[in-house]
Amino acid sequence: MNIIVSSCLAGCDCKYNGGNNLSKKVSALMDKHTVVCVCPEVLGNLPTPRPPAEIKDGRVINNLGIDVTENFKCGAALALAEAKKYNCTAAVLKANSPSCGFGKIYDGSFSKTLKDGNGIFAQMLNDNNIKVYTEEDEFDF
């Protein structure tokens, strides 16, 4: 099975603060499946580290007040192309992220408050019939 995965969950230092979100569950997937790692934010030409961003009123705004929506959309489209190239049927993405969150994302107030919604990339995958999970979900591939 081919699975698209947020690069930060695989241990790549691409997170907004320059770190990663290494997940043992994702590491275990790498032993059994073909894992395609992507970071839509990096693919969208955003630097690492970078100011944190959240979705507010349908736009991705960083904590400096700069609208980075187009970077997020461009990176998500490139990441989706990778998922399609490798015929990925599922994704494991970073929970709550403005790119990768699925079901819940931060509300745009930078107060760690969650709201219902999906990140830009997670929504694109869902719209293309690729099953989306986060590292917080139970999955058994």
Check whether 64 has a pLDDT greater than 90: yes
Share of the chain above pLDDT 70, in %: 100
Segment 4-39, tens digit of pLDDT: 999 999 999 999 999 999 999 999 999 999 999 999
Tell me the average pLDDT across 62-88: 98
Q: Are strands 59-62 and 53-56 parallel, antiparallel or unpaired?
A: antiparallel
- Tell me, what's the pLDDT at 76? 98
Rama region for 85: left / alpha / beta (φ>0; ψ in -120 to 50; rest) = alpha
- Tell me, what's the pLDDT at 119? 98
